Amino acid sequence: MRKLLILIGLATALFAGEAPKRGPVVPRKAAEFVFLKVGEPQQLLSMYKGKTIVLAFMYTTCPHCQKTAVVLAKVQAEYASKGVQVLGAVFDRDAGRQVQQFHQQLGLNYPVGYSETGPVLEFLQHPVDEPYFVPILVFIDKRGTIRGEYIGDETFLSKQEVNIRAEIDKMLKMGAPVAGATAPKS
C-alpha cells in the first residue's frame, strides 16, 4: 500500500509541473503590428484604429490561405461601407518577394504586407516553440481589442464565410448604440 501511495505521489508531482496548454487570451488589447510593404512605407495596425478589423496571417504558398484571402476579398467588398477593414500579412519564407504576386494573382482588394515569423508570433502571443497552422484570423473591434483569434482552426475554417461574417456582425453589434439611447447634447 505504501508503494502505491508513493507511485501516486510521484505521478501527481510529474503531472503537476506540466502547465495545461491554453489558447490565446481573448479579449485582449491588440499590440502594435508593423506591415512591411515592397517599395512603400511600412504600415502600422494602429493606422486603422476606429475600424473593425479582420487581420489574416497567411503563407503565400498555402492553398488554405489563398482560399481564405479570396473569401476575405468578398468580405471586404461587402463590409467596407460598415467600417470594416480587412488586412493581410504574409510571413512565410520569401514573403517579401512573394507578397506582390500573391496580392495580384488573387485580385485582393485590401492591403497585404509581409513580416517575419517572430513579430507575428509575438503579436499573437504564441510561444515560438509551439506549432501553429495557417491561416490565422484575428478579429479586432473599433476600440483595438482582439475579440476573436483562430490559429489554423479547422472547425472555424470549415465554414469560414459564414463564421467570418458572424464574427464581424457580432463586433459591429457591440459598437452599435443601444436601442432607445439618445446621444448626449453638446
Instruction: Report yes or no: 113 and 37 within 8 Å, Cβ to Cβ.
Output: yes
pLDDT tens track for 42-52: 999 999 999 99
Half-sphere exposure at residue 145, Cβ-oriented, CA atoms within 13 angstroms = 10
The values of phi and psi at residue 17, to 5°, are: -75, -15
pLDDT tens track for 132-156: 999 999 999 999 999 999 998 789 9
Longest CA–CA span in the chain (Å) reads 78
Instruction: Calculate mean pLDDT across residues 153-161.
Output: 90
The residue type of 61 is T
Instruction: Calculate mean pLDDT across residues 76-97.
Output: 97
What b/e string do you get for 130-155 counting C-beta neighbours within 10 Å, with b at 16 or more? eeeebbbbbbbbbebebbbbbbbbee
Instruction: Report yes or no: 49 and 144 within 8 Å, Cβ to Cβ.
Output: yes
The residue type of 66 is Q
Q: 137: which strand partners?
A: 56, 150
Instruction: Report yes or no: 30 and 148 within 8 Å, Cβ to Cβ.
Output: no
CATH topology of domain 23-175: Glutaredoxin (3.40.30)
C-alpha cell at position 51: 475600424
Instruction: Calculate mean pLDDT across residues 165-186.
Output: 69
pLDDT tens track for 94-126: 999 999 999 999 999 999 999 999 999 999 999
What is d(CA 110, CA 69) in angstroms, rounded to the nearest whole number? 10
The residue type of 181 is A
- pLDDT value of residue 7: 41
What is d(CA 131, CA 123) in angstroms, rounded to the nearest whole number? 15
Read off the pLDDT band of 24 (50, 70, 90). Answer: confident
% of the chain beyond a pLDDT of 70: 82
Give the N- to C-terminal CA distance of the chain in Å, as an integer. Answer: 78
0.85 exceeded by pTM = no
- pLDDT value of residue 152: 86
